[in-house]
Chain A
Amino acid sequence: MDTLKLKILELMKEDARRSADLIATMLGTAEDEVARAISEMEADKVIVKYATVVNWSKVDDEKVTALIEVQITPERGRGFDAIAERIYLYPEVKSVYLMSGAYDLLVEIEGNSLKQVASFVSNKLSPIDRVLSTKTNFILKKYKQDGIIFEDQADDHRMLVSP
C-alpha cells in the first residue's frame, strides 16, 4: 500500500469524521487525491466501515461482553474456517480470531445480561460439532479499546502562555 494511503488511514483512525479537505491540508497534498484514495480504499474494503467507539459504561446500558476461548477439532480440507464461519454468523458474536496457543478460537460475545451470554454459550456454541471445550471470560471493565484509553484523560496542564 502506498504511503499516502497509510497516512490517510492513520489520520482517519484518530478521527473518522475528518474531511478529505482537512486531511489533504494536514498531509500537504491535493484534496481530490485524498478523496480518490479514500474511495479506493472503501471499494477495496480496506476501509470496512466508519464506526463509533462507545464507552458503554458511561451509558445506562447493562451490556455484558465475554471473551470465550474455544477449542475445536479442525475439519478435513477446510481447517478451522468452516466452524469459525458457523460461529461468526451469529449476530451476538462481535469478533472471532484464530489463535495460536492453548486454544483455537477467541470469540467475543456481547449480550444484554450474563444469563443471555451464558445461554448463548451453552445452547449455541458448545453443541456445535467439533467444539471440544469453551471457557468463558467476562469483561469486567474496559480500560483501553482500539488504542483509545477510556479513563478520563488529564486536561491540558500547560500554562496558557509560556516562552
Chain B
Amino acid sequence: MIKDETTIQPNKVKSMQDYLAPAVREIKPSGIRKFFDLVSNSKDDIISLGVGEPDFSTPWHVREAAVYSLERGRTKYTPNSGIPELREAIADYLHTSFKVKYEPSNEVLVTVGGSEAIDLALRALVTPGDEILIPEPCYISYSPITSISGGVPVGIETFAKDQFKLTEKALRDVITPRSKILILCYPSNPTGGIMTYEDWLPIAKVVEENDLIVISDEIYAELTYGQKHVSFAAVPGMKDRTILVSGFSKAFAMTGWRMGYACGHSELISAMTKIHQYTVMCAPVMGQVAAHEALTNGLEEKDRMIESYNQRRRLIVKGFREIGLECHEPQGAFYAFPSIVATGLTSDEFAQKLLFEAKVAAVPGDVFGLGGEGFLRCSYAYSVSQLNEALERIGKFLRKL
C-alpha cells in the first residue's frame, strides 16, 4: 500500500551540515579529489602522471614474508607501539642511513602510515589556536589535519628560484608568539625540492630561538638523486624538538600496507602512543611483519627501484625542457614540477585543458598551497614508454595552444 505522504513530516532535522564539527565542516574538498573526479569521469584513453605512489609492486620477498606469517597464524594484536623487532630494525636503519639514533623501546612508534603519525603528532601537541607553520607548496594533508586538531595553519611560500627550499627569512617572516609547530617535508611532495645540511643550519637556529617543535615528514628520505638526504633530526640540537615521521609507502613500494612510524623524544612519543592506543590500538600485524622484512632484506630492491626512478627523472625533466616547459631539477621524491606560467593559463585551466584535449592527467599546482599556482605536478612513477607517450602528447598540446 502506498503511504500517504502528507502524514510524513518533511525536514524535521536541520541540515546535516549543522551537525558537523565546525573544524570539519570548514575543510574544503581537496583539489586532488576534485581532479580525481574529473579524471575518473572521463572515459577516454588517459595517460596519467597524477599518482603519488610507486608503480612497482611491493618486492616479492616482502609479500611472501607476510603470507608466510599469515599461514602460521600470526593474526593478533601487537604491542601498541609495534612489534619490538620492527622498532629495533627502524632504529638501526635510521642510525645507519641518516645518523640519528633512537631508543627502540620508547622513542619509536609504529603507526598506520606516515599519515597517522602526522595526525598523532598534531593531536598530541596542539592547543586550539596554536599556529602551525607549513612551507608550501606541500603535501595536501597538512593544512586540513592541522585545522582538525584545532591548530591554525600558516603557509610559508617557497619559490622555484630557491629550488623550493625553506629560507631563514621566509620562516622568520611568519613567526608570531602563537607559532608552535613547523611541519617540514623534504624531499618534497610536490616540488621534489630537498634541503642540505647547510640549508638546515639557519632554520635550526630559528627553530631554537622561537622554541618551535618540528614535525619532519621524511617519507621520501630514500628517494634522493645526487645528494644523500639530511634528516632535520640529525642537525645538532634538533633531535629532541623533532618528531621524525616516515614510512614504507614510497621507498619500499608499500602504500597499501599502511605502515609508517614516528620517532622522537620519549615523552612526545609516549603522548602520541596514548592516542594511538585508544584509536587504532596498533598497526596491522601483517604490515608490521612485511615492514620488518623490507628493512632487513629489502634494501637492495629499494636501491634498484630508486635507480629506476632516477633514470625516469632525467627523462621527464629533459623532456619538459625540450618541449618548452621550464622545469627546475627535482632532487628528491618522484615528482617533476614544471612551470606552465608561459602559457598564460592558470594551473587549473592548464590541467583541465591538458586532460580534455591531450588526454594527459597531471595535478594542478595550486592544490598544494601557496606558491603552487603556475606549476603542474607530474609523477614520474610510470614506465618509460608511458612517460614518452605523455611527453609527446603534452608537446603536441603546447604547440597547438
Contact = CB atoms under 8 A, between A and B. Distances in A.
Interface stretch (B15-23, B31-39, B94-102, B116-124): B31-39
B361 interface: yes
B40 A15 contact: no
Contacts of B388: 22
A156 interface: yes
Contact of B361 (A11, A15, A18, A161): A161
B46 interface: yes
A39 B26 CA distance: 63
A149 B107 CA distance: 43
Interface stretch (B5-13, B50-58, B83-91, B239-247): B50-58
Nearest to B226: A28
A162 B50 contact: yes
A76 to B, nearest CB: 45
Given A15-B384, A26-B311, A26-B312, A162 B52 contact: yes
B343 interface: no
A160 B39 CA distance: 7
B361 A160 contact: yes
Interface in B113-154: 139-141
A163 B363 CA distance: 9
B53 A162 contact: yes
A22 B384 contact: yes
A33 to B, nearest CB: 14
Nearest to A14: B384
B273 interface: no
A18 B50 CA distance: 25
A159 interface: yes
Q: Which of B40, B312, B314 has the most CB of A within 10 A?
A: B314
A160 B311 contact: no
Interface residues of B, number: 26
Given A26-B384, A156-B55, A161 B314 contact: no
B179 interface: no
A27 interface: yes
Contacts of A15: 384
A57 interface: no
A141 interface: no
B318 interface: yes
Interface in B327-346: none
Given A160-B46, A160-B361, A161-B363, A25 B32 contact: no
A161 B32 contact: yes
A161 B189 CA distance: 14
Given A22-B315, A161-B32, A163-B189, 20 more contacts: A22-B384, A25-B315, A25-B318, A26-B314, A26-B315, A26-B384, A27-B314, A158-B51, A158-B53, A159-B36, A160-B40, A160-B46, A160-B48, A161-B35, A161-B50, A161-B51, A162-B52, A163-B32, A163-B52, A163-B139
Interface of A: 11, 15, 18, 22, 25-28, 156, 158-163
16 contacts: A11-B311, A15-B384, A25-B315, A25-B318, A156-B55, A159-B51, A160-B40, A160-B361, A161-B35, A161-B361, A162-B36, A162-B50, A162-B52, A162-B53, A163-B30, A163-B32
